[in-house]
Amino acid sequence: MLYKDRILELIQQSPLNIDTEIQVAGRPPTMANSEFLTNKEQGDWAEQVVYRAINEFSDEFFAVAYGRSESIAAGDEGFADFYMAYQNELNTIGKKPDLLIFQLTDFTEKNVDRENDEHIKKAVAALEVRSSSFLSDKYAAFSERRQEPLSEDKNKP
């Protein structure tokens, strides 16, 4: 069974009403704000850190970039076409993970054809990498709450 079919089967078994169709906006965005660009750069950096860590330090595994990695943003020439093609891809096959992880024993030359389904099926893991700075405020608040002394009254939070 294909991965996408299995996911759809699980969604159908869910008691929730889940819409699986991505709604494409009528028009692509026309301008990227600085927060978006900063977040994108941080995400790209985090992905490279994970990619290098696996490829430089593992004797058993290697990472291959898999998801989209274009450096095109709203407002750039050609963005509208890129945006619409990407939305169609998301609707057809879903979001590709950033990295695929393979065993060195399967590809001794680390020569994976990212368009070959037989190669892709040999991945032992797929990673979607996010920069931890997106969640730093939430993590700081969580850590602070964990360090607060417990109340003497067990009924009080």
Residue 77 scores a pLDDT above 80: yes
Q: Of 50, 57, 46, which Cα lies nearest the Cα of 126?
A: 50
Query: What is the rounded end-to-end Cα distance, in angstroms, of the chain?
Result: 48
pTM of the predicted structure, to 2 decimals: 0.66
Where do the structural domains in the chain lie, given as residue ranges? 3-147
As a whole number of angstroms, the distance between CA 79 and CA 14 comes to 37
119-142 tens-digit pLDDT? 999 999 999 887 766 567 777 777
Query: What per-residue confidence (pLDDT) applies to 126?
Result: 92
Which residues have a Cβ under 8 Å from the Cβ of 29 and sit 6 or more positions away?
74, 83
- Cβ distance 108 to 23 under 8 Å? no
Which residues have a Cβ under 8 Å from the Cβ of 106 and sit 6 or more positions away?
122
